[in-house]
Structure 1
Amino acid sequence: MLKFLKIFCASMIASALAFSVAAKEPECTFSATEVYERIADNIVKIISFSIDQHRVLERVRPGIGSGIEIEPGLILTNYHVVQGAKLIGASTNDWAFEAQFLGGDPVLDLALLRVPFYERNFVAPEFGAYNDLDVGQRAYVLGYPLGVGLTLSEGLVSGLDRQIPLNTLSWTTRYIQTDAAVSPGSSGGALLDDCGRIIGLVSMISSHPQAENMGYALPIDSIMPLVGEIEEKGYVSRPWHGLYGQMMTPLIATLLLTDPASVPEGFMVETVEPGSAAEKIGIKGGFLPVMWGFSEILIGGDVITHVNGQPIRSREDALKTVGALEVGDVISLTVWRDGVSLELQAELEERRNFESDLWVNGQR
């Protein structure tokens, strides 16, 4: 049940140019065994059963994944692990229950499950912070790869701030890259630091034929603020700007066959979702496909230089601006198009989930 994907050229280039990184001095003195023992009871095996309506034989399709019991009876996992499931089971070495699907977020690939909680000694897991991570520090993956027993693999935090092209909001999400072994079934498992703290939810590996040991986890501190909303409403409410793209760079500007100095800093729009606020006010996406390493980008679209009067000079600016938006906001945009600066306004509706949110090139 693990999604496979091709990652952005930037990640591929970074990997190709990467050199050997010495492990960071551990913050804790825990051995791998001690890390395992601190968190093993919180890691859950997930089995799901879905029905393929397009088949006559072998219509029941089983799936396997992992989960993290973050509160008594409350399990966090990946949405794709239980997507479309008619029956979900959760188990450890000590218990096994049918699990109730409480809700999820396909955009970030999150799901919450509930199992009955019987009287036992539950120890809440500890969480680490993304901003405290360093490339080169020790990391562990704990889950149920291929559905076998609970398995611990060891490696490093081999990259930070990775962008994965899953959906039109992917550019707003930072992933942790690790070379610790990740396999189908590891989805929903825990990425741990050397203190046994959960630092990420294991979500995917690269399927590029030349990729080796490239697993990705969503930072746990970007997930936990959403848990209450998913548990209460069954979904995550977010404003629908409908934009996908990346920051304009001098190198990309040269592809436009123009003087890079004449192209302003800003967010280069590649794709505009139909029906979104961006489409309604006429934002234009890219139209010229260009191979950018192993990936394809679309150039020639609008460049957003300001939002509500604030300049967008870096991805940090863009992330901060988007993170502050709420459903119902009316925002002002300054857009550069063919050498002309335009002023536009948009009202943000609530974004609905799309079936394509989880799918990349027909694979997951």
Structure 2
Amino acid sequence: MYDLISQNIADIEPAAAAAGSQELGQETSIVRDDELLDAYSDAVTRVADLVGPAVVRVERVVQKGHGGMGSGVVISPDGLVLTNSHVVEGAKELRLTDSEGRSMEARLIGEDSDTDLALVRAGAARHLPSAQLGDSKKLRRGQLAVAIGNPLGFESTVTAGVVSALGRSLRARTGRLIEDVIQTDAALNPGNSGGPLVSSRGEVIGINTAVIAGAQGICFAVASNTAQYVLSQILQHGRVRRGFIGVAAQTVAVPRRHARAAGIDNNFGAMITGTDPNGPAQAAGLMSYDIVVRLDGEPVTGVDDLIRMLNGDRIGRSVEVDVVRRGQLRSFKLRPAERQAAKAA
């Protein structure tokens, strides 16, 4: 009998030890999860405390009794505010309200509808809390992203998620592609537009601009590096300068036999469908049905490429345009002018 009891105890002890070990493992797991959640909460709280005071409500008055509202972020203590172009569009008056409820008049310095960005200055504002623009090129998928804004009129709302994807392209209301857009699942709603998307370091990595209607967790922000470029252009020129060669074009496939005959690798190009009578392209000899395949040696695979390459640096200087005309590669020299509003290329 003693041997039987001893055997039973011997069988029970390892099982009890294993159970105890399992419980200990569960407790350890719970502790670790709690620690992770605390670290996540601390990160979001720290970002909200650091950047929240720099986020403002932007109200526009289009006509008496009518207007709209969005968000903005103060990027310098003297009152420079970044927001969306569509937030300030058509405004007769602009008013900013900070996180403490203080209201101030503002004026539009400049906007760029092609990237949906605008720069506003708060009137008579000094020593405002401000946020710092980060380097969006250093972002990685999966890292923490915090959005701060005024969705649907709810002041200083904080939502958090991750950087879902990088390098997206988004069609602006002008029809031009906004390059290098950040995709995030941090919840955005009407009123978040123009507010900051912030990294765990408290740096503004994007300006929230759009959501996909009917979708969940698919939101977009214009990258901070794009915002930095637009900001510098507006401060220097009052606008973003882009080149214009005076053509209407569409993206088309380059016939394989023409590509082989011309010695190019393009599967697609930008076919000219019309030229401005007073434009650089017509003066240089470009014609309808020419397919643009290179600009200064860089491949052009469609209209979006052509528009993107015609940046401010090419205004007024000679550029080489390679086209396929009747199966032959031909080159032309021209000088892009500055593009005015509502002109394509």
Fold in common (TM above 0.5): yes
- Code of the residue aligned with 1:212 in structure 2: it is Q
Contact 2:74 2:81 in 1 (8 A): yes
1:349 aligns with one of 320, 328, 337: 337
TM-score (norm. length: structure 1): 0.70
Residue of structure 1 in register with 2:15 after alignment: none
Residue of structure 2 in register with 1:227 after alignment: 231
- Code of the residue aligned with 1:128 in structure 2: it is G
Give the Cα–Cα distance (whole angstroms) in 2 for the partners of residues 88 and 355 of structure 1: 28
Give the Cα–Cα distance (whole angstroms) in 1 for the partners of residues 191 and 343 of structure 2: 22
Residue of structure 2 in register with 1:45 after alignment: 57
1:328 aligns with one of 316, 320, 337: 316
Q: How does 1:1-364 map to 2 (within 5 A)?
A: 30-51=42-63, 60-72=65-77, 73-94=79-100, 95-118=102-125, 120=127, 122-166=128-172, 170-171=176-177, 173-207=179-213, 209=214, 211-241=215-245, 262=260, 264-266=264-266, 268-269=269-270, 275=276, 277-278=280-281, 302-308=290-296, 310-312=297-299, 322-323=310-311, 325-354=313-342
Specify the SS of the correspondent of 2:231: helix
- Cα displacement (A) at 1:111: 1.5
- Cα displacement (A) at 1:144: 0.9
TM-score (norm. length: structure 2): 0.73
- Cα displacement (A) at 1:236: 2.0
Contact 2:143 2:163 in 1 (8 A): yes
- Cα displacement (A) at 1:213: 2.2
- Code of the residue aligned with 2:244 in structure 1: it is W
Do the aligned partners of residues 114 and 164 (structure 1) sit closer, same or farther apart at CA in structure 2, a change above 3 Å counting? same
Give the Cα–Cα distance (whole angstroms) in 2 for the partners of residues 99 and 273 of structure 1: 42
Give deviations 1:69-124, integer Å, cap 9, x for gaps: 0012111111111111111110113221011122222222222211135565x454
> Could you say which structure has the larger radius of gyration?
2
Identity of aligned residues (%): 27
Provide structure 2 residue ranges, at least 5 long, that are not aligned to the other structure.
1-35
Specify the SS of the correspondent of 1:99: strand
Give the Cα–Cα distance (whole angstroms) in 1 for the partners of residues 286 and 130 of structure 2: 46
Flag the structure with more relative contact order, 1 or 2, with Cα contacts below 8 A and sequence separation at least 6.
1
- Cα displacement (A) at 1:234: 2.5
